[in-house]
Structure 1
């Protein structure tokens, strides 16, 4: 058995990305953020569908021009090629994301 909070290191300038599980058609990542945001003008435009759950913390995403505030327990689906970016993430508590990617 494992725990979603195990192995979190002190978050520095970069977010912490951890691959938790991978199969033929899926990947599950844990991302740890602390005051991080996407660079101005940067957009994620991924080739895979993504389902995200904010396990801990607060964050604001910009999804195709619309700002979405998230708190612990909130989740959403981002279809492939849905342009999105991280506007801001909380520092205290740090943000812990669980991200499920559907790989074609």
Structure 2
């Protein structure tokens, strides 16, 4: 049996107006995604309010997440990670405009 495999940073999709999301694995209620951003941010007034827990690792580029609770921000650089519980309202405030921002996200059902 051939085990699925790949590289998270090569190849990257070309820059475009939208983020590119690739589901790398979905099994047993767990989903792993690679997201590539090119300067995108959440629309004004939009907040993610997800029913799943989410673990985020930034692999390349830079990003700023904003959390509604306490109106706090978290600056992400390669190697930074954030654990976002279900229903923790957050948004992408900014991603690097001059290079690809590559995220690895893991989702699973909230406890």
Specify the TM-score bucket, using the shorter chain as the normaliser.
Answer: over 0.9
Q: 1:4 maps to what in 2?
A: 8
Output the CA distance in 1 between the equivalents of 2:99 and 2:14: 12
Pick from 46, 50, 53: which aligns with 2:50? 46
TM-score of the two chains, using structure 1 as the length reference: 0.94
Does 26-35 or 58-67 show the bigger shift?
Answer: 58-67
Gaps of 5+ in 1: none
Pick from 23, 29, 33: which aligns with 1:25? 29
Q: 5 Å matches for 1:53-92?
A: 53-64=57-68, 65-92=71-98
Gaps of 5+ in 2: none
Paired positions, count: 104
TM-score of the two chains, using structure 2 as the length reference: 0.88
Q: Structure 1 segments of 4 or more deviating over 2 A?
A: none
Using the TM superposition, give the Cα deviation of residue 13 of structure 1 relative to its aligned residue in structure 2, in angstroms.
1.0
Larger Rg: 2
**C-alpha RMSD of matched pairs (Å):** 1.2
Q: Is the 8 A contact 1:24 1:103 kept in 2?
A: no
Output the CA distance in 2 between the equivalents of 1:11 and 1:26: 28
Q: 2:100 maps to what in 1?
A: 94
